[in-house]
Structure 1
């Protein structure tokens, strides 16, 4: 119960109790706030360090792959006409190539028919894809319209890769069935045969060109025609396997006359270069992150410095020291022994820098040595990974430290709850004590006043005038 100033003792009990409670509470609250800030800052800093380490480990994993150094590139100087891919067993080489013609599929049309054409009687259509094809029989019913015939053809021919549609001519009101084949290559022409006179208007020979409103091909099936170093070659598909052993060619357009393209099959230097740069970038990010987390920055003579979350942290020093030791440790091989042999050097701030010219020369002159330097059980990537894995793996050093900090932060909340409860009990006790004192003083004052009145009314007592 709160005291009331002016009653009883006349003391401001609220102010006195408030001051005593604050004197008890404020230092502990400040202590908990400092501990929470320090723990949260360090927790966030360790998380940031762990993220940079994880990115670094991922970059190393990509580079620590012998398959990366087994890949072959196939580069065309005219990608609009030809692209290619090569397996790891493809031999290096350079080829002059032309694309004379792309492989095409059959597109045919029936003779022009009235737009209201209907089948005069039941019958069958046999659709073939090439002369040697047994064909697919499609039942047509009397009265079927062109649209109904189209739908029956599409249902029957879907597994054969042939589609049909109706094309209408607004000028003369006539219609034609048009069929398209998916499969390319010479001899894969669509033909429609029928023994039924009522369906004779739907028959067509796909090897004969359509002229005017007559039946025949609109586009004839044909092989792709191309040359490799002057040798004339053909392919039923625009995707060509093994014209050059272990190389897949994709033809997509004709080359200009007297302007051959060059196809170069080689070791995949660009892919290796990209992964080396990704490794260097990830390492530089790790170094910059570590520098920021361990730095002390002065911002003025009268202001406290800004400090990173891991200033003076032994974990960071130990970790980076171990990684740097591996980076400068020479490999037991010829050709490429240290990063400097690849044009990768350390700058003043601890980050790495790549000399692209020197790296390119090393990949050209010592490609296999670059692979064994980086990849494999004894390669640089494996050695560095072993140094950092214990820090970022599940249950590793950083996770354990972060778990401990999380426990501390959770404990701070519990301490705050305990402090609030203890302060409330202290406040209640102080109010009870001060109110009891106030009540006692009030009673004593009352007794004093009554005694003074009684004494003042006795005979012979002369009151002193004011």
Structure 2
């Protein structure tokens, strides 16, 4: 802060009061100011370090999430490709076996769609109050219909209450203005037909077809009953209640999109092959992400030499147990056995840890030799993705860093403590500045008072001297 000392030399004493007061104040202030400055610099460095470490952990966490994606799996042991994606697509898991399969889709699985008898009054037709019961596969879904309901409000009540169960409703109005309530389900497969009861005028037997030319009083299934998907795999007949066919081919899931065209229908060829190249790319991506994190941790933890190569410059986490604990937790995941099976740890795939830097090194030659073992690609998938939601390496690694990076976690707690220290240091600085100001004011007043006294004494001395000089002059004249 600005000094209240007025510049200039004392008029009475001839002393440089400003310099004297400044020197005295600085001498008193120096030790405490050095302590505050040193602590502030160290604390600011730590706050910055916490931010940098959290950003690095968040980036690593994002990389782990991307690598463990279920929609675009990075560690698929096998690749399943369809020669005709417009008919079907295919995905594989770690139990797949390399091979080729010819698939003919004869029909797709369909859901139930039913319609009520028509209402001449249209969407505003009155509907009695009560409980509307929609039944499917032996399960009843109840919808409360209040008093003064209309066909439109009944539709809205069904959608509000049953959308989470895959059941929806709408209103279809014909050219005469008569309206029907149409209810459909996203559940597919034979036997999943809807039936509706409980409200007069809305009884629907979904196991009966309305017919091609329904009368106004007709109700029932629209177009057709719910059916299973029908297909052949290498000539073997398969049915499925869903258009997502699992279990028909071990390790494969077929996603049916349309019926095979032609007479006879053309088969879609599904090819399953080991994903060696893709797995190598994904392992390298994991190694790179891990090494980026370790580079940040090392930078934030290790002290360095100054420009002269003599003095040691401390880093944000030098000697800090937090980063040592973090590294220990991460390395523990790398060395712990995985989900079971012949492939237990990364070192079996040529991924080794550098003892000095803690970084990973990926020996692709060793990886290639490991992949020559039959079934190893599936084992790689199992090691990284696991056999359940908890035992895969990616999940375990994410769990290891979560306590540090989560909201309210260890890094947030550390930052809260450092921010408290920062506030305390600012309070100390404010108190020191006030003390310096008061001391400066006090010393300046004292030295100015001294200067005034010296001036008065000089004036008195000058007066006395003048008196005696005048007296001596008179004696000389006599």
- Report the TM-score range of the alignment, normalised by the length of the smaller protein: 0.5 to 0.7
Deviation of the 1:17 alpha carbon? 1.8
Gaps of 5+ in 1: 137-143
Deviation of the 1:363 alpha carbon? 4.9
Aligned match for 2:288, one of 270, 281, 288: 281
- Equivalences, count: 420
| Distance of aligned partners of 1:50 and 1:59 in 2 relative to their CA distance in 1, 3 Å threshold | same
Deviation of the 1:98 alpha carbon? 2.3
Counterpart of 2:268? 260
Correspondences of 1:235-274 after superposition (within 5 Å): 235-240=240-245, 242-243=247-248, 250-256=255-261, 257-262=265-270, 264=272
Which deviates more from structure 2 when the two are superposed, residues 363-372 or residues 425-434? 363-372
- Whether the 8 Å contact between 1:150 and 1:166 is mirrored in structure 2 is no
Aligned residues: CA RMSD: 6.9
Counterpart of 1:181? 184
| Distance of aligned partners of 1:84 and 1:61 in 2 relative to their CA distance in 1, 3 Å threshold | closer
Deviation of the 1:284 alpha carbon? 0.4
Aligned match for 1:40, one of 35, 39, 44: 44
| Secondary structure, aligned partner of 2:453 | helix
Which deviates more from structure 2 when the two are superposed, residues 410-419 or residues 108-117? 108-117
| Equivalent-residue separation in structure 2 for 1:191 and 1:313 (angstroms) | 71
Does residue 228 of the first structure (1) align with residue 228 of the second (2)?
Answer: no
- Whether the 8 Å contact between 1:362 and 1:370 is mirrored in structure 2 is no
- Whether the 8 Å contact between 1:112 and 1:174 is mirrored in structure 2 is no
Aligned match for 1:100, one of 91, 103, 106: 106
Correspondences of 1:39-438 after superposition (within 5 Å): 39-42=43-46, 44-45=48-49, 48=52, 75=80, 77=82, 81-82=87-88, 92=97, 94=99, 95-105=101-111, 161=167, 163=169, 165-169=171-175, 175=178, 177=180, 179-182=182-185, 184-185=188-189, 206=209, 208-210=211-213, 219-223=223-227, 224-240=229-245, 242-243=247-248, 250-256=255-261, 257-262=265-270, 264=272, 276-277=283-284, 279-293=286-300, 294=302, 309-310=314-315, 313=318, 341-344=348-351, 351-354=359-362, 359=367, 362-363=370-371, 365=373, 366=376, 412-413=425-426, 416=429, 419-420=432-433, 422-424=435-437, 426-438=439-451
| Equivalent-residue separation in structure 2 for 1:251 and 1:463 (angstroms) | 138
- Whether the 8 Å contact between 1:87 and 1:247 is mirrored in structure 2 is yes
| Secondary structure, aligned partner of 1:451 | helix
| Equivalent-residue separation in structure 2 for 1:381 and 1:117 (angstroms) | 57
| Equivalent-residue separation in structure 1 for 2:363 and 2:178 (angstroms) | 68
| Secondary structure, aligned partner of 1:227 | strand
| Secondary structure, aligned partner of 1:310 | coil
TM-score using structure 1 length: 0.58
- Whether the 8 Å contact between 2:102 and 2:267 is mirrored in structure 1 is no
| Secondary structure, aligned partner of 1:461 | helix
| Secondary structure, aligned partner of 1:221 | coil
Deviation of the 1:165 alpha carbon? 1.7
- Whether the 8 Å contact between 1:239 and 1:248 is mirrored in structure 2 is yes
| Equivalent-residue separation in structure 1 for 2:195 and 2:63 (angstroms) | 57
Deviation of the 1:91 alpha carbon? 6.8
- Whether the 8 Å contact between 2:210 and 2:222 is mirrored in structure 1 is no
| Secondary structure, aligned partner of 2:471 | coil
TM-score using structure 2 length: 0.56
Deviation of the 1:289 alpha carbon? 1.5
- Whether the 8 Å contact between 2:54 and 2:411 is mirrored in structure 1 is yes
Partner deviation per Cα, 1:257-289 (whole Å, 9 max, x = no partner): 42324275x999899878755642343023322
Aligned match for 2:459, one of 446, 454, 457: 446
Gaps of 5+ in 2: 68-72, 143-147
Deviation of the 1:227 alpha carbon? 1.4
| Secondary structure, aligned partner of 1:99 | strand
| Distance of aligned partners of 1:445 and 1:439 in 2 relative to their CA distance in 1, 3 Å threshold | same
- Whether the 8 Å contact between 2:60 and 2:293 is mirrored in structure 1 is yes
